Amino acid sequence: EVQLVESGGGLGQPGGSLRLSCAASGFTFSSNWMHWVRQPPGKGLVWVSRINSDGSSTTYADSVKGRFTISRDNAKNTLYLQMNSLRVEDTAVYYCAREVARGWYFDLWGRGTLVTVSS
């Protein structure tokens, strides 16, 4: 089955760190650019970061630049988001999403993992 499954969410302290994972299956993971998108409680979708297919190029939203790091392990079919210097406003459901090859839009999403930042 073609799917993305996120994990690693939970309660984080302000100033602390969390690492999210997204396990891909059912498709050739190494062929696709991948993204993280977040959704604060009761709010809309916000793009966070993207990584190209071999991991050599990354881009971040200004709100997370310098604090979050996106990476991937194509041998393990897994995408990561290292979240440092957490802020209360980082509280959200985090989704990983697959970008259509040479398409720039997202055709496959995971079910998300909730990150709550609170003291």
Strands 10-12 and 113-117: parallel
- Of residues 45-104, which lie at the interface with another protein (CB under 8 A)? 45-47, 50, 59, 95, 100, 103-104
Q: With CB under 8 A, what is the number of residues at the site for another protein?
A: 18
- Provide the mask over 8-27, with x wherever binding to another protein is found by CB under 8 A and - wherever it is not: --------------------
Q: Which is nearer to another protein, 38 or 72 (CB)?
A: 38
Q: Which is nearer to another protein, 66 or 104 (CB)?
A: 104
Question: From the CB of 88, what's the least distance to another protein, in Å?
Answer: 21
Output the DSSP codes for 19-35: EEEEEEESS-GGGS-EE
Beta-carbon contacts of 38 under 8 Å, excluding residues fewer than 6 positions away, are 45, 46, 48, 90, 92, 93, 94, 95, 115
Q: Which is nearer to another protein, 60 or 77 (CB)?
A: 60
For 17, phi and psi rounded to 5 degrees?
A: -135, 150
CB neighbours of residue 62 within 10 Å: 6
Q: Which residues bind another protein (CB under 8 A)?
A: 35, 44-47, 50, 59, 95, 100, 103-107, 109-112
